[in-house]
Every structure is written in C-alpha cells, then in structure tokens.
Amino acid sequence: MEKWECTACGYIYDPKEGDPDNGIKPGTAFEDIPDDWVCPQCGVGKEFFQKIA
C-alpha cells in the first residue's frame, strides 16, 4: 500500500501504522480513510494529500 504525504505540512500517512489516535486502524489504505479525516499534524483535508510515487 502506498504512503501519502500532506502537501501542507509534510506529514506522511503510512498505511502500515494508520492513525490510531483518530480512529484509523493500522493496515487502512489511504483511499479507505473516511472523507472527514484530516491531517493529524496540521488539520487540512484529504484532498491536500499526494501519493508518494
């Protein structure tokens, strides 16, 4: 599964780790995160994330 980077602050979402503090279980693909999830570091929405090629 691919990692995604927040274009605003540089936070990297790693599906292996998920974002358990905000209810995203380890192993969750970025595409499967609910639309109202925001960057845990700076708060921008999913649309500001870019796939790390």
Partner 1 sequence: MRVIIVGNGLAGVIAAKTLRELDKKVEIEVFAEEKYHYYPRPNLIEFLAGTIPFERMFAFPQEWYKEQNINIHLGKPVTRIFPDSQEIEVAGGKKEKYESLLLANGSFSFIPPFKGAGKKGIFALRTLDDAFELLEYLKNHQRVVVIGGGLLGLEIARAMKSRGARVDVVEFFDRLLPRQLDIQGASMLKAQVENMGIYVHLGLATEEILGQNDVRGLKFKGEREIEMDMAIVAAGVRSNIRLTKEAGLETDRGLVTDDYLQSSNAKIFGAGDVIQHRGRIYGIIPSSFNQARVVASNILGMKEKYEGTVPSNTLKVAGLDLTSVGLVNPEEGTSEEFRKEKKEEGIYKKIVIQKGVVTGAIWMGTKKGVNEISRIISQKINIEKHKISLLEDDFDYSVL
Tell me the HSE value of 36 on the side-chain side, using a 13 A CA sphere.
1
From the CB of 20, what's the least distance to partner 1, in Å? 16
- Residues numbered 11 to 50 that lie near partner 1 (CB under 8 A) are 36, 38-39, 41-45, 47-48, 50
Query: What would the two tokens of residue 8 be?
Result: 């605003």
Question: Which of 1, 2, 5, 23: binder of partner 1 (CB under 8 A)?
Answer: 5
**CB-hemisphere CA count at 13 Å for 48?**
17
SS3 52: coil
Residues that bind partner 1 (CB under 8 A): 5, 7-10, 36, 38-39, 41-45, 47-48, 50-53
